[in-house]
Amino acid sequence: MRVLLIGANGQLSSDLLKLSGAHEVVARTHQELDVTHVRKVQEEARRVQPEVIINTAAFHKVDLCETEVGRAFEVNAYGVRNLALAAREVAATLVHFSTDYVFEGNANRPYTEEDIPNPINAYGVSKLAGEKMVRYLWTKSFVIRTCGLYGHAGCSGKGGSFVEMMLSQTGCG
């Protein structure tokens, strides 16, 4: 399968790349392809003709999203819209990553797909808007909500891998 991997410098992409196996992965970093540029996103999809587009790009510094709401929406909502349009045009499956922040977090049980989202911060609202863009624009798509990533690579928004962060906070790092 030919896969177009978006946000290729990031934590999740770095580990996904190691699993590419027999698949042909065309990896694009933020520098190489900014998801907020709709024309460039569409041109790249036309050029690569992927069967799958995996979007790991996000602006997910939760506190900063409160003061930079425009940027949060540009990347997490409109950027995702651009990818959904591009995926639709080339009939590629779109795999998009979202977050548990689409929920307010008051439940005392695990959330399910049937629970109604109710984000309580700008990051969560922008990510939910991204989800809606995917669902509204392109049915051949998957939205994966995760609450944490625990790979080898570090996360730009959180400063290092989860394990390293926990070790340093407990004085063991």
Question: Which residues sit at the interface with ligand NAP, rule CB under 6 A?
Answer: 7, 9-12, 30, 34-36, 56-60, 75, 79, 97, 99, 146-149, 155-158
Q: Which position's Cβ is nearest ligand NAP?
A: 10
C-alpha 90/C-alpha 19 separation (Å) is 24
Residue 123 annotated to the active site: yes
Closer residue to ligand NAP, CB minimum distance, 61 or 88: 61
Q: List beta partners, residue 141.
A: 94
- Rounded to a whole number of angstroms, the minimum distance from the CB of residue 45 to ligand NAP is 14
CA terminus-to-terminus distance, the chain: 40
Closer residue to ligand NAP, CB minimum distance, 30 or 88: 30
Annotated catalytic residue within 111, 123, 136, 150: 123
- Rounded to a whole number of angstroms, the minimum distance from the CB of residue 123 to ligand NAP is 8
- Indicate which residues carry an active-site annotation: 123
